[in-house]
Structure 1
Amino acid sequence: MILWWLKRSLQSTRLKVRKKFNRVLPVGDYLSDRWEKAGYLGFGSGTSIYDSALVLGTVKVGENTWIGPNTILDGSGGELVIGSNCSISAGVQIYTHDTVARSISGGKSPIAKDSTYIGSNCYIGPNTIIQKGVRIGDGVIIGANSLVNKDIPSNAKAFGTPCRVVGSTNVK
C-alpha cells in the first residue's frame, strides 16, 4: 500500500514539475526541498542546493547562492567557503585536499590539505574543477570545463585547463 502511494505521489509530482518547468528530475530532487537542505547545512538565506550534491567536511556558503546538481563540495581538508549570490553550475567539483603525494609515496606522505575560497557574485561554469588552496575573488566568471589550480583575482573572466585569466567582467 505504501509503495503504491509513493509511486502515485512521485508520478503526480513529476507531472506537475514537467508541466511547470519542462524538466524531469532524479527521484531525490522530487522528495527533497533544495532550500531546506541548504538551511540544514547552515548555508545562507535564499541559498539552494540540489539533493544530488555531495557535501563533505566544513563548507560555508553565503546568501542567495545556487548550487547545481551533481556537484561535489569537499571541505574535508580545510574550510571551503563560497560567498553570496554565486552560481555553482552542474558537475562542479571543489576540493580542499588531494592525495597525490600520498599515492606516489606509497602512503608515506600525508594527504595535502588547504582551505579553498570563492568570493561573492561569482559564476562557476559546468564541470569545472577547483583544486585545494585556490582563492577566487569577487565578481569572477569561470568558463565551463575549467581546471582552476591557481588563484583568480576579482572581476576576472577565466577559463581553460589549466584555467587562465582572459579578461575582465567590468563589474563595479
Structure 2
Amino acid sequence: MGQPSDLISDLRALFTREMEVVRNQWNRALPFADYIVDRWEKARLLGFGEGSSVYDSALILGNVKVGAHTWIGPFTVLDGSGGLEIGAYCSVSAGVQIYTHDTVQWAVSGGKRGPERATVRIGNRCYIGPNVIISKGVSIGDGCVIGANSFVNRDIPSGMKAWGSPARLRGPVPHPEES
C-alpha cells in the first residue's frame, strides 16, 4: 500500500473521473460514497428484491425487507428494529424516515420502560414523497401516494393519496390509463 498522500491522490482522481461521468450522463453531482458504492449491489447484499437500489447515505437498521424494483433515495432512515416491509415497484424519496419503534415511554418513565416497537408495512407500487415521516405500526396499502413533508401516523388504505401533518386522505390515486 502506498503512502497516505498517494491514496488521497488516487481517491481524488477517482472522484473527479466518476463525477464527470455522472454529470455528463445525468447532469447531477453525488456525495463521494455514491460514486464508489453501487446502489444495486448494496441492495442485493442487504437481501432486497431484484432490481432494487439503495443509496449509500441511507441508514438501515434491523429487519428491513424490500421488494423487487424499489428505489430507496438518499439520506433516508429505514428503521426495521420492529420489522419493516416495503413492497415492489416503490419509490421512497430523499429524506424519508420510517420508524418501527419509539422511546417515548422509556423517556417519560425515566428509563423504567423500554422502547415500543410495531411493524410498518408499505404495499406495492407506492410513492413516498421527500421528507415524509412514517411512525411505528402504520400500514400503507398498494398503489398509494404520500405527499412531501407529511407525517403518517395512521393506516392509509390501498389506492389512496394522502398528505399533511398529520397525513389525511385526499382521495383516490388516478390510474395512468384514466388520466
State the partner residue of 2:130: 126
- Residue matched to 2:152: 148
What is the match of residue 48 of structure 2? Answer: 43
Three-state SS of the structure 2 residue aligned to 1:44 is coil
For the residues of structure 1 that align with 2:93 and 2:132, how far apart are their CA atoms?
8
Query: How far does residue 170 in structure 1 lie from its aligned partner after superposition?
Result: 3.7
Q: CA deviation at 1:144?
A: 0.3
Alignment of 1:10-89 (within 5 A): 10-76=15-81, 78-89=82-93
Q: Which residue of 1 aligns with 2:3?
A: none
- Please, what TM-score do these two structures have when normalized by structure 2? 0.93
Distance in 2 separating the partners of 1:58 and 1:164: 28
**CA apart distance, 1:88:** 0.1
Q: Give the Cα separation in 2 of the matches to 1:106 and 1:67.
A: 36
Q: Indicate the residue corresponding to 1:95 in structure 2.
A: 99
The separation in 1 between residues aligned to 2:120 and 2:59, in whole angstroms, is: 16
Distance 1:170 1:125 in 2: 17
The runs of 5 or more residues in structure 2 that have no matched partner are 1-5
How far, CA to CA, are the matches of 2:139 and 2:25 in structure 1? 38
**Runs of 5+ consecutive residues of structure 1 not aligned to the other structure:** none
1:80 maps to a residue whose letter is L
Whole-Å separation in 2 of the counterparts to 1:152 and 1:32: 34
SS in 2 for 1:120: coil
Q: Which amino acid aligns with 2:86?
A: I
Which deviations, in whole Å up to 9, do the C-alpha atoms of 1:60-94 show, x marking residues without a partner? 00000000000000011x21000000000000000
Percent of pairs identical after alignment? 57
Counterpart CA distance in 1 for 2:9 and 2:24 is 23
1:6: how far off?
Answer: 1.8
Larger radius of gyration: 2
| 1:15 positional shift | 1.0
* CA deviation vs aligned residue, 1:27-46 (integer Å, no higher than 9, x gap): 01001000000000000000
- Cα RMSD (Å): 1.0
Hey, what's the Cα distance between the residues in 2 that align with 1:16 and 1:170? 37
Letter in 1 for 2:13: R
Tell me the CA shift for residue 104 of structure 1.
1.0
Q: Which runs of 4+ in 1 moved over 3 A?
A: none
Aligned AA (1:79): G
- 1:117 and 1:68 map into 2 onto residues whose CA distance is 18
- Corresponding residue for 2:117? 113
Counterpart amino acid of residue 47 in structure 1: S
Q: Does the alignment pair 1:168 with 2:175?
A: no
Task: Report the 3-state secondary structure (helix = DSSP H, G, I; strand = E; otherwise coil) of the residue aligned with 2:8.
Answer: helix
